[in-house]
Structure 1
Amino acid sequence: MYLSKRKISSDFVKRAAIVSTVFLFVVFFFIFAAFWSIQIVHNEKYTKLAMRNITRVIELPAPRGMIVDRLGRVLAENKINFTLFLVRENVENLEKTIEKASNFSGKSVAAVRQIIDKYKKHSGFYRIPIKSNLPQETVIFIQSRQDEFPEFEIGMEPSRTYPLAHRAAHVLGHISEITEAELNADKPGIYGFGDLVGRSGIENQGETFLRGVKGSQTVIKNNVERIQRISSEVKPEIGETVVLTLDLRLQEFIENLFANESGAVGVLDLKTGGVLALVSKPDFNPEIFSREMGLEEWQAISNDPQKPLQNKFLQGIYSPGSVFKIIMALAGLQEKIISPNSAVFCSGSQVFYDRVFHCWNPGGHGAVNLFAALQNSCNIYFYNLGMKMDIDTIASYAHLMGLGKESGIDLPNEKAGLVPGSAWKMSTFNQRWFPGETISVSIGHGSLNVTPAQMLKLIATVALRGRMPKLHLLQRIEKQGKVVREFTAGFSRVPIDEKYFELLIEGLFRVVNSEGTGRAARIDGLDICGKTGTSQIIAMENPRYKKLTQEKKFKPHSWFVSFAPRVNPRLAMVVLVENGGDAGAIAAPLAAQIYKKYFENEGLL
Structure 2
Amino acid sequence: MKKNKTFHKKKIVVVFVCCVTVMAGLIGRLVWLMGFRSDYYYEKAEDLHERERDIKAARGEIIDASGKVLASNKTVCTISVIHSQVKNPEKVIAVLTEELGMDEEDVRTRVEKVSSIERIKTNVEKEVGDRIRKYQLDGVKVDEDYKRYYPYGSLASKVIGFTGGDNQGIVGLEVKYDSYLEGTPGKILTMTDARGVELDEEGEERVDPVPGYNLMISLDSNIQMYAQQAALKVMEEKQADRVSILLMNPQNGEIYAMVNVPEFDLNDPFTLNEEIDTSGMSEKEKQDLLNQMWRNPCLNDTYEPGSTFKIITMSAGLEEKVVSLDDQFYCPGYRVVEDRRIHCSNRRGHGAEDFLKGAENSCNPVFIDVGLRLGVDNFYKYFQQFGLMSLTGIDLPGEAGTIMHQKKNMGQVELATVSFGQSFQITPIQLATTVSSLINGGKRVTPHLARAIQSSDGDYIKELEYETKDEIVSEETSETVRYILEHVVSEGSGKNAYIEGYTIGGKTATSQTLPRSANRYISSFLGFAPAENPQILGLCIIHDPQGVYYGGTIAAPVIRDIFENVLPYLDIPKTGKVQDKDGSAENT
TM, length-normalised to structure 2:
0.79
Preserved CA contact (<8 Å) 1:68 1:244: yes
* 1:267 matched residue in structure 2: 247
* 1:160 matched residue in structure 2: 148
Displacement of 1:140 in angstroms is: 2.0
* 2:135 matched residue in structure 1: 144
Displacement of 1:94 in angstroms is: 9.8
Gap change, CA 1:372 and 1:302, over 3 Å in 2:
farther
Residue-by-residue CA offset, 1:502-525 (whole Å, 9 max, x unaligned): 2222211111011x1111000122
Displacement of 1:568 in angstroms is: 2.4
Structure 2 regions of 5+ residues with no counterpart?
A: 1-30, 236-241, 575-588
The yes-or-no answer on 1:312 pairing with 2:297 is yes
The yes-or-no answer on 1:229 pairing with 2:229 is no
Displacement of 1:526 in angstroms is: 1.4
- Among 194, 202, 205, the alignment partner of 2:173 is 202
Corresponding residue pairs, total: 521
* 2:483 matched residue in structure 1: 506
* 1:585 matched residue in structure 2: 553
The yes-or-no answer on 1:254 pairing with 2:219 is no
* 1:287 matched residue in structure 2: 267
**Which range is displaced more, 466-475 or 328-337?**
328-337
Displacement of 1:314 in angstroms is: 0.8
1: CA distance, partners of 2:168 / 2:244: 26
* 1:399 matched residue in structure 2: 384
The yes-or-no answer on 1:87 pairing with 2:78 is no
5 Å matches for 1:410-489?
Answer: 410-423=395-408, 432-446=409-423, 448-479=424-455, 480-488=457-465
Displacement of 1:344 in angstroms is: 1.4
* 1:180 matched residue in structure 2: none
2: CA distance, partners of 1:373 / 1:114: 75
2: CA distance, partners of 1:306 / 1:469: 29
1: CA distance, partners of 2:308 / 2:217: 29
Structure 1 regions of 5+ residues with no counterpart?
A: 1-36, 178-194, 424-431, 543-547
2: CA distance, partners of 1:496 / 1:114: 68
* 1:187 matched residue in structure 2: none
Indicate the SS of the match to 2:293: coil
1: CA distance, partners of 2:325 / 2:174: 48
Displacement of 1:327 in angstroms is: 1.6
Gap change, CA 1:102 and 1:258, over 3 Å in 2:
same
* 2:123 matched residue in structure 1: 132
The yes-or-no answer on 1:575 pairing with 2:509 is no
Preserved CA contact (<8 Å) 1:169 1:284: yes
Displacement of 1:376 in angstroms is: 0.9
Residue-by-residue CA offset, 1:95-144 (whole Å, 9 max, x unaligned): 99889866654445786699899xx9xx9324435343257457524641
Give the aligned residue type for 1:449.
Q
Preserved CA contact (<8 Å) 1:403 1:454: yes
- Among 51, 56, 79, the alignment partner of 2:51 is 56
2: CA distance, partners of 1:477 / 1:138: 33
Gap change, CA 1:227 and 1:564, over 3 Å in 2:
farther
Preserved CA contact (<8 Å) 2:337 2:412: no
Displacement of 1:326 in angstroms is: 1.4
Residue-by-residue CA offset, 1:286-323 (whole Å, 9 max, x unaligned): 222499x9x97988975559943110111121001011
2: CA distance, partners of 1:559 / 1:65: 37
The yes-or-no answer on 1:70 pairing with 2:65 is yes
Gap change, CA 1:116 and 1:409, over 3 Å in 2:
farther
Indicate the SS of the match to 1:84: strand
Give the aligned residue type for 2:55.
L
Indicate the SS of the match to 2:264: coil
Preserved CA contact (<8 Å) 2:439 2:481: no
Gap change, CA 1:115 and 1:281, over 3 Å in 2:
farther
Identical-pair percentage? 27
Indicate the SS of the match to 2:524: strand
**Which range is displaced more, 273-282 or 123-132?**
123-132
Gap change, CA 1:458 and 1:53, over 3 Å in 2:
closer
RMSD: 3.6
Preserved CA contact (<8 Å) 1:172 1:201: yes
Displacement of 1:239 in angstroms is: 0.5
2: CA distance, partners of 1:453 / 1:443: 19
* 2:511 matched residue in structure 1: 535
2: CA distance, partners of 1:230 / 1:269: 57
Indicate the SS of the match to 2:444: strand
Gap change, CA 1:440 and 1:50, over 3 Å in 2:
closer
TM, length-normalised to structure 1:
0.77
Indicate the SS of the match to 1:584: helix
Gap change, CA 1:595 and 1:83, over 3 Å in 2:
same
Indicate the SS of the match to 2:433: helix
Gap change, CA 1:112 and 1:347, over 3 Å in 2:
farther
Give the aligned residue type for 2:419.
S
Give the aligned residue type for 1:441.
V
Give the aligned residue type for 1:204.
V
- Among 331, 342, 355, the alignment partner of 1:346 is 331
Give the aligned residue type for 2:371.
G
Gap change, CA 1:44 and 1:333, over 3 Å in 2:
closer
Gap change, CA 1:372 and 1:116, over 3 Å in 2:
farther
Residue-by-residue CA offset, 1:432-456 (whole Å, 9 max, x unaligned): 443222221111111x101110111
Gap change, CA 1:347 and 1:196, over 3 Å in 2:
same
Displacement of 1:145 in angstroms is: 4.5
The yes-or-no answer on 1:277 pairing with 2:253 is no
* 1:17 matched residue in structure 2: none
Gap change, CA 1:340 and 1:60, over 3 Å in 2:
same
Give the aligned residue type for 1:602.
L
Preserved CA contact (<8 Å) 1:365 1:378: yes
Indicate the SS of the match to 2:267: helix
* 1:18 matched residue in structure 2: none
Give the aligned residue type for 2:167.
L
Preserved CA contact (<8 Å) 2:186 2:206: yes
2: CA distance, partners of 1:84 / 1:351: 73
Gap change, CA 1:48 and 1:330, over 3 Å in 2:
closer
1: CA distance, partners of 2:335 / 2:341: 6
Gap change, CA 1:134 and 1:276, over 3 Å in 2:
closer
Residue-by-residue CA offset, 1:521-567 (whole Å, 9 max, x unaligned): 00122111111111212577x5xxxxx64xxxx2x111211211122
Indicate the SS of the match to 1:372: helix
